[in-house]
Structure 1
Amino acid sequence: MTRPLSIILADAFDYAARAVFEAPQAHEHYGLPAPSTWDNWVYWWRGFAAGLAGDYESTPLIARPTPGKP
């Protein structure tokens, strides 16, 4: 069963907003300066793309284990 486009877009916008909302706490936790406008722009687009793809794992793709390899 496929999800309706409205639900896909709602998830994408929700995940984008969540990524931007969580950025200040993450920056503070890691001792980084507050996110800049550019940082928020990047977080928003990454969250939106992840929401469109239905990929809710927050680990960056390059840091994820390769399937089938230890």
Structure 2
Amino acid sequence: MTAFPTMYRYEIRDVLFDLDAAELISDLEDIGAIQFNPVEQHAWSVTITVNSVEPCGAVICDFWEGDCYNVDFREYNP
């Protein structure tokens, strides 16, 4: 298991919990997810921030028929 920095570890955990609970696209939109690839309709992203201000990365996934697949965390490099 990968350890995430403490400053956004809990936000990632909360996003993963919400993605697991999502059943509809509207559920993804409720947690702030956006479709990040217009060509691939199933690709979604949720931005992770430091103290709800500065973006530091994103949890990305494919959403298909009520389930998330290929979940990954991409950290932004300044």
TM-score in terms of structure 1 length: 0.33
Q: Which has the higher contact order (CA 8 A, sep 6+)?
A: 1
Answer 1 or 2: which has greater helix percent.
1
Normalised TM-score (structure 2) = 0.30
